[in-house]
């Protein structure tokens, strides 16, 4: 009996030990699996963190590029000069990439013919289908070419805005028919010139020009022909004055001219030159060829007046005298002063 008991006891202990070993092994296996799962989860967290860092870096880079574009556009729109806008563009290039040199060509270069200068590459600036010019650059690294293209396209848009601004400004200050300055803008320039003359103690002349018998032209040939006559008169006046002289349309068939730094003798020469040029020039308007003349009244600063209104009145009075003397002549207000 004792032997049987001992055998049973040993068998029981062995069975318990075996079952315990199985339980321990299962627990170890589960623990290993938990560790592996934890490692995998931790690895995923690490991967997600790295991905998030990459996305953050990418977003920061994109935000920096967007800010650069915004900052460049904001600075460029403060200026109305192409060179100033280009200087800002070059500054932004140097801040955001390595580039040796960059030049602006106002006319787009023909890359298929002569091509850019040695060592340079060309980037054509376009706004829709219109070519605005070209950027010549060298020393640009390959990794920066895409960024350069983005900034260059933005610069092209800025150039187009400057061009549109100039067009609008031109429309605002010039007469749509004749191309001469509008009366409002002309008067502003007139006042500025008077102040300048007062500061520098210099003289200035003011011409009032009126087309002779213009109502007859309108009545006989129609207003369209009359418009052609006014356009030609304005062109002839502008062709016979200096670049510094200011030509405006005063209203109707009247034009006016400011001659800075001009005295009585000099302004008479200019006025007579304008009068003769219009008299000798046949004006072709549709099916008609007309010969027109003008009368001119002249006043001098400061001898005839020191404010704009007074000079205008004196020149208008001289113009009236020119009309009463038979037209097609020049009358200076000063020649009637006692």
Instruction: Point out the residues that are catalytic.
Output: 253
Instruction: Note whether 88 and 72 are within 8 A (CB).
Output: yes
Under DSSP, the state recorded for 222 is: -
Of residues 204, 294, 297, the one with CA closest to residue 245: 204
Distance CA 246, CA 3 (A): 137
C-alpha dihedral, 329 to 335 to 337 to 338, nearest 10°: -130
E strand map for the chain: 101-105, 121-127, 130-138, 204-211, 246-251, 254-260, 283-285, 288-290, 294-301, 330-332
| Residue 190 · residue 206 · CB < 8 Å | yes
* Spatial contact of 216 and 301, defined as CB atoms under 8 Å apart: no
């Amino acid at each position: 009996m004792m032997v049987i008991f001992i055998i049973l006891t040993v068998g029981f202990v062995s069975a318990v030990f075996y079952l315990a070993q199985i339980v321990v092994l299962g627990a170890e296996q589960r623990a290993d699996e938990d560790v592996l799962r934890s490692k995998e989860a931790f690895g995923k967290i690490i991967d997600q963190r790295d991905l998030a860092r990459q996305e953050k870096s990418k977003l920061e880079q994109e935000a920096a590029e967007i800010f650069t574009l915004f900052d460049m556009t904001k600075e460029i729109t403060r200026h109305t000069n192409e060179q100033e806008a280009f200087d800002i563009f070059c500054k932004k290039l140097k801040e955001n990439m390595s580039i040796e040199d960059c030049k602006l060509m106002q006319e787009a270069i023909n890359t298929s013919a002569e091509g850019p200068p040695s060592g340079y590459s060309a980037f054509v600036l376009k706004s829709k289908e219109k070519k605005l010019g070209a950027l010549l650059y060298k020393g640009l690294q390959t990794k920066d070419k895409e960024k350069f293209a983005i900034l260059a396209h933005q610069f092209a848009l800025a150039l187009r805005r400057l061009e549109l601004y100039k067009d609008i400004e031109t429309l605002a200050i010039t007469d749509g028919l004749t191309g001469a300055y509008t009366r409002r803008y002309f008067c502003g320039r007139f006042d500025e010139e008077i102040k300048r003359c007062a500061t520098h103690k210099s003289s200035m002349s003011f011409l009032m020009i009126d087309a002779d018998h213009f109502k007859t032209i309108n009545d006989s040939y129609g207003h369209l022909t009359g418009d052609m006559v006014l356009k030609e008169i304005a062109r002839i006046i502008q062709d016979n004055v200096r670049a510094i002289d200011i030509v405006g349309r005063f209203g109707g068939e009247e034009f006016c001219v400011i001659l800075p730094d001009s005295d009585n003798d000099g302004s008479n020469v200019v006025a007579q030159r304008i009068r003769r040029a219009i008299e000798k020039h046949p004006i072709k308007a549709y099916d008609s060829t007309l010969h027109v003349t003008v009368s001119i009244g002249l006043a001098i600063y400061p001898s005839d007046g020191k404010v704009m209104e007074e000079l205008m009145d004196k020149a208008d009075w001289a113009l009236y005298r020119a009309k009463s003397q038979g037209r097609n002549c020049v009358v200076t207000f000063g020649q009637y002063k006692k």
